[in-house]
Each structure stands twice: as C-alpha cells, then as structure tokens.
C-alpha cells in the first residue's frame, strides 16, 4: 500500500476510535515519517479534507437520514449532534468530520432532501418549454419529492418563520436555489407577456403555498379527494395558471 493510502487509512481508523487526528498521530499509526506525511498533505486540514472526500456514501446517507428523522421530531434548535451520531451508528468524530455542526448538517439536508434538484432540473429546460407545460411539471416534481416527507415540510415552514443562526445559511440556500430561480423564470415570463405582471416573489408564493398546504393536509384529505399527489399538484398548477393569465 502506498504511503498516502496508509496515512489516510490510519486517520480513518483513528476517527473510528474517536481519537483526535493530527498529521503526527496519523503518521505514527501508519508507520511513516512525519516529514513524509507533511510532504503528502501539508496540513491537518488537507488530510481531513481527503477523508471527507473518501467518506463512504452509505455513511453520509445514514447521517442525513438520522438527522432528518430527528429534526422532524425536535426542530433544529433542540437537535443534538450526539443523538444524530448514535442514531446513524457512526462515531461523533466521523459525524463532525463530515458535518462540523448543525448549520452544515441542515444545509446539506436542504440540498439533498428538499426538491431543489427537481426545481433546478425543470427550470433548466425553461427556455424551450411553454409556461403552461412547465408549471404543472414543476408542481408534480415537487409533490413527488415531498409527499412522503411531511417532517421536512414542517421543518422548512418552522425554520423560515423564525430563522435561527443554525438554519440561516440553509434557508438562504433554499431561497436562492429554489425560490430565487423560480422568481427569475416568472419575471421573464411576465416580461414576455405570458403571465400577468405582479411581484415575482408573490407569484412564487402563490404557486408554492397551496401546494405545500395540500401536502401537509393529505393525511386528512386523501380519502376524500382520491387523487395522487402528482394529480392534485397538476390541478393546483393549472388553477394558478388560470389566475396568472395576462389580462
């Protein structure tokens, strides 16, 4: 095994044992010289970054799943990173190596678990897709991601209504990558005469709000409506389009 790989493996073993990792300690565990270790990585930060890159995908997913389940129960302010580590079955050191605090964990959850990728993907085709087709497609995509994640919807609503230091970056990320891109698209459609003019933020809120309310209320209304989340989302989007027609 090459010296670089031995050093990384030694650092991983130390983290698994909840030991503090330094260049010196990893070098001793790997049986290589201190000078060789510093030549390979230069700093403890660089070594930890290498470990973050090499983290097993399964470990990351277990942490995110555990974090999402606990956040749905407690909210971000009351979340314990130790509880996340225990529920995910990883060491505290491994958790903090990947997500050094609640702020980092929340932002990654918003990136991975929220429908941001759906929104970005649909809007990427916005230039060639008529608004009458794109908005129902967007609504179906969001509903498909969120219909079985009521905890995430409640969490988003709670954190947006009272932004905390831990959630501020995550909420801003969601706004910029999701609502911000939607606002930009709607503003272009208004300028092109395809939608009636109003503040793009209000237009985005009037589109997203009923969709989220429907998903939150589904446990009570599903039997009465008899519609799949995607079918209900399509009808809500079509109603929005009728209200947004120019003139």
What local confidence, expressed as pLDDT, does residue 56 receive? 59
Cβ atoms 109, 115 nearer than 8 A: no
pLDDT of residue 86: 92
The one-digit pLDDT tens for each residue of the chain (247 residues) are 678 888 888 887 776 665 677 788 888 888 888 778 877 877 777 777 776 655 555 788 889 888 888 887 777 778 889 999 999 988 888 888 888 888 888 878 877 777 766 777 777 767 678 899 999 988 998 888 788 777 777 777 776 666 666 666 666 777 777 788 889 999 999 999 999 999 999 999 999 899 988 988 888 888 888 888 889 999 999 999 999 999 7
* CB 67, CB 95: distance < 8 Å: no
Q: What are phi and psi of 34, to 5 degrees?
A: -60, -40
- The tokens describing 156, both together, are 């988003």
Containing 88, the helix (H) or strand (E) segment is: helix 81-88
Name every residue whose Cβ is closer than 8 Å to that of residue 72 and which is 6 or more positions away in sequence. Answer: 150, 151, 152, 154, 155
pLDDT value, residue 1 = 61
Task: Give me the domains of the chain, ranges plus CATH numbers.
Answer: 3-53 (1.10.10), 57-101 (1.10.10.60), 114-243 (1.10.357.10)
> Cα 221 from chain centroid?
28
For 203, other C-beta atoms within 10 Å of its C-beta total: 22
* Residue 119, C-beta contacts closer than 8 angstroms, at least 6 positions apart: 138, 141, 142, 177, 178, 181, 182
Q: What is the largest CA-CA distance in the chain?
A: 76
How far is 158 from 137, CA to CA, in rounded Å?
A: 27
Tokens representing 167 are: 């959630």
């Amino acid at each position: 095994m090459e010296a670089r790989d031995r050093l990384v493996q030694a650092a991983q073993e130390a983290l698994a044992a909840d030991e503090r990792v330094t260049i010196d300690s990893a070098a001793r565990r790997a049986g290589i010289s201190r000078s060789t270790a510093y030549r390979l990585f230069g700093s403890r930060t660089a070594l930890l970054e290498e470990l973050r890159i090499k983290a097993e995908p399964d470990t990351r997913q277990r942490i995110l799943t555990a974090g999402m389940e606990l956040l749905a129960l407690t909210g971000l302010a009351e979340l314990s990173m130790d509880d996340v580590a225990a529920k995910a079955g990883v060491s505290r050191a491994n958790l903090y190596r990947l997500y050094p605090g609640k702020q980092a964990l929340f932002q990654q959850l918003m990136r991975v678990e929220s429908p941001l990728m759906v929104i970005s993907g649909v809007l990427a085709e916005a230039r060639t897709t008529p608004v009458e087709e794109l908005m129902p497609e967007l609504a179906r995509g969001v509903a498909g991601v969120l219909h079985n994640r009521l905890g995430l919807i409640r969490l988003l609503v709670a954190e947006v209504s009272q932004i905390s230091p831990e959630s501020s970056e995550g909420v801003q990320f969601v706004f910029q990558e999701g609502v911000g891109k939607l606002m930009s698209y709607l503003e272009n459609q208004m300028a092109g005469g395809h939608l009636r003019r109003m503040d793009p933020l209000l237009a985005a809120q009037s589109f997203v709000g009923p969709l989220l309310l429907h998903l939150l209320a589904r446990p009570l209304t599903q039997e009465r409506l008899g519609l799949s989340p995607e079918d209900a989302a399509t009808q809500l989007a079509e109603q929005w389009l009728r209200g947004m027609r120019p003139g």
